[in-house]
Amino acid sequence: MEHEFPGFWRDAWRRFSSNRPALFALWTLAAIGAMAIFGPLFSSYSYYDIHLEWHDTPPGPKFWFGSDELGRDLFTRIWWGARISLFIGIAAALIDMIFGVIWGSVAALAGGRLDEIMMRICDILYAIPYLLVVILLTVIRGSGIATILIAMTCTGWINMARIVRGQILQIKEYDYVVAARLNGASNARILAKHLIPNAIGPIIAAVTLTVPTAIFTEAFLSFLGLGVQAPAASWGVMVNDGLSAMRYYPWRLLFPSAMLTLTMLSCNLLGNTLRDALDPRLRR
């Protein structure tokens, strides 16, 4: 049966808001996003300002989160890094959603041989290690945000395509979809009006869970030196810089790794709760 959307969203919000860890995760992500936008404005330093005379200064009134080996303010660099990490996470998730929804819905609605060919293409692409793609793109294009996004989205949309395909294969057999087809509705109209709107719950949950994966991938690649390059600040770059100083200057590792962990934990809590809240089978 087709969703009654006002009631569906109201019931989903009720289930979501009753989960306190999910609400905490939502407010945490909102706070991190706000600080990523406005945080650097609270500091008198830029993320690339070098003050060698103040290198490795512990947290205090001068540098709230301390400074690094070049005397750069870690507070400013962490929130600049949040901008990069969150941008990559959100952009990668949106690109994966667009490609995945189109590919999965077309494959499921077409069915037959076209569906088989499209899903075998997914299997082939999924077998290619993304690290190999990153290395090849780095050689061709050089390191940077664009290279990371291209590498992650080359294969990142496949999981979304499989989720959408599975949902639409189930939904397209429902009576209201069959009735729409008998009334002469085109495939594009059926997709836009009936199939995709009724698969929106799993799509939103999958997008939310894609964000922390993309953030971790960016941090991992930057940690290896294949991602964002100095003097730009990303959490992966800062963790890499702080690792060698962990014994004597622990704040250089503590703050960026704590922000990375907190963001990924909040995104996963939010995604798991949304997946349950948007499941129409759990409606009461």
pLDDT tens per residue, range 130-142:
778 877 887 787 7
Query: In terms of Cα–Cα distance, which of 196, 208, 1 is closest to 105?
Result: 196
pLDDT, position 11: 73
SS in 3 state form for the chain?
A: CCCCHHHHHHHHHHHHHCCHHHHHHHHHHHHHHHHHHHHHHHCCCCCCCCCHHHCCCCCCCCCCCCECCCCCEHHHHHHHHHHHHHHHHHHHHHHHHHHHHHHHHHHHHHCHHHHHHHHHHHHHHHCCCHHHHHHHHHHHHCCCHHHHHHHHHHHHHHHHHHHHHHHHHHHCCCHHHHHHHHCCCCHHHHHHHHHHHHCHHHHHHHHHHHHHHHHHHHHHHHHHCCCCCCCCCCHHHHHHHHHCCCCCCCHHHHHHHHHHHHHHHHHHHHHHHHHHHCCHHHCC
> What is the C-alpha separation between 11 and 6, in angstroms, rounded?
9
177 contact partners, CB below 8 Å, separation of at least 6: 171, 190, 194, 195
Provide the 10 A C-beta neighbour count for residue 186.
10
Whether 207 is covered by a domain: the verdict is yes
Provide the 10 A C-beta neighbour count for residue 184.
7
pLDDT, position 47: 75
Angle subtended by helix axes 145-171 and 130-141, to nearest 10: 140
- pLDDT, one tens digit per residue, over 49-94 is 788 888 888 888 888 888 888 888 888 889 988 888 888 888 988 9
Whether 11 is covered by a domain: the verdict is no
Whether 224 is covered by a domain: the verdict is yes
pLDDT band of residue 242 (cuts 50, 70, 90) is confident
Domain CATH number, residue 224: 1.10.3720.10
What's the average model confidence in pLDDT over 112-126? 89
For 248, what's the count of Cα atoms within 13 Å in the CB-facing half-sphere? Answer: 9
Domain hosting 54: range is 28-282
138 contact partners, CB below 8 Å, separation of at least 6: 147, 226
Whether 20 is covered by a domain: the verdict is no
pTM: 0.81
Whether 205 is covered by a domain: the verdict is yes
- 6 has a pLDDT exceeding 70: no
Whether 129 is covered by a domain: the verdict is yes
Q: For the chain, how many structural domains are there in total? A: 1
Q: Which is more confidently placed, 259 or 196?
A: 259
The rounded radius of gyration (Å) of the Cα atoms in the chain is 22
Query: Residue 161 is encoded by which pair of tokens?
Result: 């395509």
pLDDT, position 7: 61
- 5 has a pLDDT exceeding 60: no
- 3 has a pLDDT exceeding 70: no
Please report, for residues 169, 180, 194, 203, 253, the alpha-carbon distance to residue 176 in angstroms, rounded to integers and kept in the order given: 14, 6, 8, 21, 56
Mean pLDDT estimate for the chain: 82
Whether 254 is covered by a domain: the verdict is yes
> What is the C-alpha separation between 167 and 173, in angstroms, rounded?
11
- 1 has a pLDDT exceeding 50: no
Whether 12 is covered by a domain: the verdict is no
